[in-house]
Amino acid sequence: MVTRIAIIRHGSTSWNKAGRLQGYSDIPLDEEGLEQARKLGLRLAGQPWDIVCSSHLIRARQTAAIIAEQLGIDTIWQDQRIGEAGGGLIEGTTETERLEKWGPDWKLQDLGMEPNASVLARGMSFLDELVAAEKGKQILIVTHGSFIRQMLAHLLPHLPPPPPMKNTSITHLELTEGKWECPLFNCVEHLESAS
């Protein structure tokens, strides 16, 4: 029995465009982000999805709501464990601002960022619970770029480290007999169409 999961990064926000790190900050989708979510919903409509899950942050919730409406799914499972990695003091800053304030080794400093181990622990807690309870289902998870990259690096250690995730990109994961595979990665085909 195969459990299929599609991990989706939320649509674009004004902070994405400005290059500002969002982390726990609750930034809504911008107009383009709403349109990206609509296009992804149209792409997924007609496919047999059973469940839509979302991070608790508004940019993910808005993306999930638009997709769920297109799929005719009334309930969205919301969970803080699939929220974005916390950025601590660097939230709201651009790379240029970080270099000016903390210098080129800012990544090595303790600026209150959530440790990778914490992100993975909560993410795997959610995922393990989900696949145990919903074995064989087709599940959409709407979440965040850094969170997705950390989870993929953990679940698919045989693959190169994932590059940055595109807004409303879809990545397919399949769990068969305890082994994860990734037949589709960071795909934004829906944004490249004329519609």
Active-site positions read 10, 84
Task: Dihedral sign for Cα 83, 84, 87, 90, please.
Answer: negative
Alpha carbon 103 to chain centroid, angstroms: 29
Q: Is 49 annotated as a binding residue?
A: no
Asked if residues 120 and 151 have their Cβ atoms less than 8 Å apart, the reply is: yes
Q: Is 14 annotated as a binding residue?
A: yes
Query: Whose structure tokens read 């940019």?
Result: 59
First to last CA, the chain: 36
Q: Is 9 annotated as a binding residue?
A: yes
Q: Is 96 annotated as a binding residue?
A: no
Q: Is 10 annotated as a binding residue?
A: yes
**47 exposed, middle or buried (CB, 10 Å; 0-12, 13-18, 19+)?**
exposed
User: Residues at the annotated binding site?
Assistant: 9-16, 59
Per the annotation, binding residues for substrate are 9-16, 59
